[in-house]
Amino acid sequence: MNKLVKLFTIFISAITLTLASISSSFAKVEGEYIVLGSAISLTGKYSSNGVHTQNGYNMAVERINKMGGVKVGGKSYKFEIIYYDDESNPKRAAQLAERLIKQDGVHYMLGPYSSGLTKAIAPVTEKYKIPMVEANGASRSLFTKGYKYLFAVLSPANQYLEVAIDLAVEKNGGKPVKIAQAFEQDAFSQDVRLGILDAAKRTGSTIIIDDKLPKELNDMAATLAKVKAVKPDVLVVSGHTKGALTAIRQISEMKVDVPMLAMTHCDAAKLSKQHGKKSEYALCASQWHKNLSYKDKFFGSGKKYDKDFKKEFGYAPPYQSAESSAALLVFKDAFERANSFDRDKVRDALKTTEMQTFYGNIKFGPGGQNVAKPMILFQVRCKGDVCENKVVAPTKWASDKFYHPIPKWSERS
């Protein structure tokens, strides 16, 4: 019996060793495949957005491969991605990044979901000099650390709601406004807050309520009671999906009247579906909307992407999927311009990226953030019981007029 166990152990270790040696030969490029690696949240608290990210990546891989792949040195290559589940845990994500690079021999990385996890992975990719194109880490602190191998296709978090303050000032006849704000205490929301502080300073506006929401919070009645008492011109809330849902629930229940309400994460929270008419007139920051007029040859327009994505995955693509797809387009473009698989050449090519995708224009600033694409704002508008997100700013893409001020609750049916 004992012998059998020993034999079995030897057998298993032999297999493991062979597998390990095979996988380490899986370098950057395997035959006709360019191998990319990504740690992604398939379980745990970010799992729904993790899946949106993965679907976005997969959709782009399939499309690029089908349309001729990546041409380097006169030969055509296909993309392939190795995924590991990071369980929504930053420590695990960093370990997996190490594993992808050291064991699987991956030379190019795609980002995980969320700023927190990107922050955990970036030092690892930086250490091994692995270029990473990420699509879901917007925190400003990612772009101030001097990372040389990190590129983000999305606009940084501090830009999310700055436009909303400008809009409020514009509606106030160019005069400064009174701002009430409530932000969760996490990297992303605090960056959004910094953006508001900048905008307030620039426009001479005053912040009359500045609440920080703890991350366990699911009741903001006290903040809203204060808002009711001091009557600001604009209320800004950012606390991920929980913040958005809690805010709308309690604003409608407590009948808080504000002329303007600006938020983040409305589409991730499925506000218009979960709260219906109660969420009407809420103004939401978004990285992307299908109605924007950007185009590329792989996905066509935003509308076409929306249609194809629905066909493939059975639901409308949130912006997390669109930006993830765009990350692959950026990689393809960089490989072809570098015309090499040398990591540093690819990195240099990434650095000089200047292109348009269905998701928006992409050009990287010195910190790696995308400086070519503005944030957009949409407003929830309802017809009968059906509510939709309508783009209202910037004016270039606005499909609908911004409705201001929000009618009082006593006048709403």
Partner 1 sequence: MDFLIFKAPMLMVQASLDGILLGILFALIAYGMALQWGVMNIINIAQGDLVILGGYIAYTMYLAGIHPAWGVIVAPIIMYFVGVLLYKLVINKVVDRDLFISILATFGIAIVFQQLMNFVFGADVVVAQSEYGTTMLFDNSVTLPNSKIFSAFISVLYAVALVVYMKKSRLGRAIRATAQNARAAKILGVDTEKVYAATFGINAALCGIAGALISITLTLHPYVGLPYTVRSFMIVIVAGLGNLPAVAISGMGLGLFEEFADYILGTEFRIGAVFMLLVFILVYRRFKLSKKREYLK
Report the interface residues with partner 1, using CB under 8 A. 43-49, 88, 182, 185, 208-209, 211-214, 216-223, 225-226, 228-230, 240-242, 245-246, 249-250, 253-255, 269-270, 274-276
Q: For partner 1, give the closer residue by CB, 46 or 281.
A: 46
Cα-Cα end-to-end distance for the chain:
78
In sign, the C-alpha dihedral spanning 342, 348, 352, 355 is: positive
Q: Are 192 and 218 in contact (CB under 8 A)?
A: no
Q: How far is the CB of 50 from partner 1 (least distance, A)?
A: 8
Q: For partner 1, give the closer residue by CB, 203 or 246.
A: 246
Q: For partner 1, give the closer residue by CB, 240 or 289.
A: 240
Q: For partner 1, give the closer residue by CB, 218 or 293.
A: 218
At a CB cut-off of 8 Å and minimum separation 6, what does 53 contact?
40, 41, 112, 113, 135, 136, 320, 321, 324
Q: Are 253 and 225 in contact (CB under 8 A)?
A: no
Q: How far is the CB of 412 from partner 1 (least distance, A)?
A: 12
Q: For partner 1, give the closer residue by CB, 4 or 229.
A: 229
> Which residues sit opposite 386 in a β-bridge?
383
Could you give the CA distance from residue 371 to residue 153 in angstroms, rounded to a whole number?
9
What is the DSSP secondary-structure string of 32-93?
TEEEEEEEE-SSSTTHHHHHHHHHHHHHHHHHHHHTT-EEETTEEEEEEEEEEE-TT-HHHH
Question: Which stretches of 273-374 are assigned E, i.e. beta strand?
Answer: 283-286, 295-296, 300-301, 354-357, 360-363
Q: For partner 1, give the closer residue by CB, 50 or 69.
A: 50
Could you give the CA distance from residue 400 to residue 5 in angstroms, rounded to a whole number?
71
Q: How far is the CB of 306 from partner 1 (least distance, A)?
A: 20
Q: For partner 1, give the closer residue by CB, 274 or 301.
A: 274
Q: Are 337 and 329 in contact (CB under 8 A)?
A: no
Q: How far is the CB of 90 from partner 1 (least distance, A)?
A: 15
Q: How far is the CB of 53 from partner 1 (least distance, A)?
A: 13
Q: How far is the CB of 92 from partner 1 (least distance, A)?
A: 14
Q: How far is the CB of 48 from partner 1 (least distance, A)?
A: 5
Q: Are strands 29-30 and 33-40 parallel, antiparallel or unpaired?
A: antiparallel
